Structure 1
Amino acid sequence: MSDVQLKCPACGAPINFDVPSGKMKCNFCGAMFSVEEVNQFNGISAANQELNVAYQAQKVGAQPPPPPGSQPAEQTDSSLAVPTNGEGASIPPSGAAAPTPQTGWVEPPATYMDEATGQQMAQFECDSCGGEIIGSPDMVSAKCPWCNNNFVATGQLVRTRVPDRMIPFGMTKEQALAAFKKEASRLKLTPNAFKHASVDDIQGVYVPYWLYDASVSGMANFECERTSSWSDSDYNYTKHDVYQVSRSGNIAYLDVPVSGTSKVTADLTESIEPFDYSTSVGFSPAYLTGFMTNKYDVEAEEANPRALDRMRHSAKDVLRDSVTGYDSVKMTNSAFEPAFGELEYVFLPVWLLNVDFAGKNYNYAMNGQTGKFVGTFPVSNVKYWGGLIGIATVLAIALGSVLIPFIMPWFLD
Structure 2
Amino acid sequence: MCDHCGNTEEISDANATPIRELDFERMVRQQFNQSETEETRVSSCPNCGAVVEFDPTAHAAECPFCATPVVADTGPHRHIKPAGVAPFEITESDARDAMNNWLGKLWFAPSGLQDYARKGRRLSGIYVPYWTYDADTRTAYSGLRGDTYYETRRVMVDGESRQRKVAKTRWRPKSGRVARAFDDILVSATRSLPQRYTTDLAPWELDKLSPYAPGFLAGFRSEAYTIPLDEAFKTARAIMDRRITRDIKFDIGGDKQRIQSAKTDISDITFKHVLLPVWIAAYKYRGKSFRFVVNGQTGKVRGERPWSILKIAIAVIFALGVAAAIGYFSAEAQ
Same fold (TM over 0.5): yes
- Unpaired segments of 5 or more residues in structure 2? none
Query: What residue identity is the alignment partner of 2:126?
Result: V
Q: Which of 220, 228, 250 is the matching residue for 1:299?
A: 228
The answer to whether the aligner puts 1:208 opposite 2:132 as a matched pair is: no
Name the CA distance, whole Å, in 2 between partners of 1:109 and 1:214: 22
The answer to whether the aligner puts 1:35 opposite 2:2 as a matched pair is: no
Query: Which residue does the alignment assign to 1:312?
Result: 241
Query: What residue identity is the alignment partner of 1:316?
Result: T
Cα distance per residue 1:372-404 (max 9 Å; x no partner): 211221122232233234334334433544454
Name the CA distance, whole Å, in 1 between partners of 2:251 and 2:301: 31
Report which of the two structures shows the higher radius of gyration computed on alpha carbons: 1
* SS of equivalent to 1:127: coil
Query: Which residue does the alignment assign to 2:162?
Result: 235
Query: Which residue does the alignment assign to 1:111?
Result: 35
Normalization by structure 1: what TM-score?
0.65
The answer to whether the aligner puts 1:288 opposite 2:288 as a matched pair is: no
Identity of aligned residues (%): 21
The answer to whether the aligner puts 1:361 opposite 2:289 as a matched pair is: yes
Q: RMSD between aligned alpha carbons?
A: 3.7
Q: Which of 306, 313, 318 is the matching residue for 1:385?
A: 313
Equivalent positions of 1:187-336 (< 5 A) are 187-198=106-117, 199-200=120-121, 202-218=123-139, 219=141, 221=144, 234-244=161-171, 249-317=178-246, 333=260, 335=262
Query: What residue identity is the alignment partner of 1:346?
Result: V
Shift of 1:319: 5.4
Task: Assess if the C-alpha contact under 8 Å between 1:121 and 1:136 holds in 2.
Answer: no
Query: Which residue does the alignment assign to 1:125?
Result: 44
Cα distance per residue 1:217-262 (max 9 Å; x no partner): 4456576778899999841524131244869643332111222222
Aligned residues: 319
Cα distance per residue 1:139-183 (max 9 Å; x no partner): 222211222111123445385542111111112211221111111
**For residues 330 and 113 of structure 1, do their structure 2 counterparts lie closer, same or farther at Cα, with a shift above 3 Å needed?**
closer
The answer to whether the aligner puts 1:167 opposite 2:143 as a matched pair is: no
Higher strand share: 2
**For residues 31 and 137 of structure 1, do their structure 2 counterparts lie closer, same or farther at Cα, with a shift above 3 Å needed?**
closer
Cα distance per residue 1:44-103 (max 9 Å; x no partner): x4xx5xxx49x98x969xxxxxxxxxxxxxxxxxxxxxxxxxxxxxxxxxxxxxxxxxxx
Q: Which of 304, 310, 313 is the matching residue for 1:376?
A: 304
- Unpaired segments of 5 or more residues in structure 1? 1-14, 17-25, 61-103, 115-119, 407-413
Name the CA distance, whole Å, in 2 between partners of 1:243 and 1:392: 54
Query: What residue identity is the alignment partner of 1:111?
Result: S
**For residues 135 and 315 of structure 1, do their structure 2 counterparts lie closer, same or farther at Cα, with a shift above 3 Å needed?**
same
* SS of equivalent to 1:261: coil
The answer to whether the aligner puts 1:394 opposite 2:329 as a matched pair is: no
Name the CA distance, whole Å, in 1 between partners of 2:317 and 2:250: 42
Task: Assess if the C-alpha contact under 8 Å between 2:180 and 2:244 holds in 1.
Answer: yes
Shift of 1:298: 2.0
Q: Which of 125, 130, 138 is the matching residue for 2:57?
A: 138
* SS of equivalent to 1:197: helix
Normalization by structure 2: what TM-score?
0.79
Which one scores higher on RCO, CA 8 angstroms, separation ≥ 6? 2
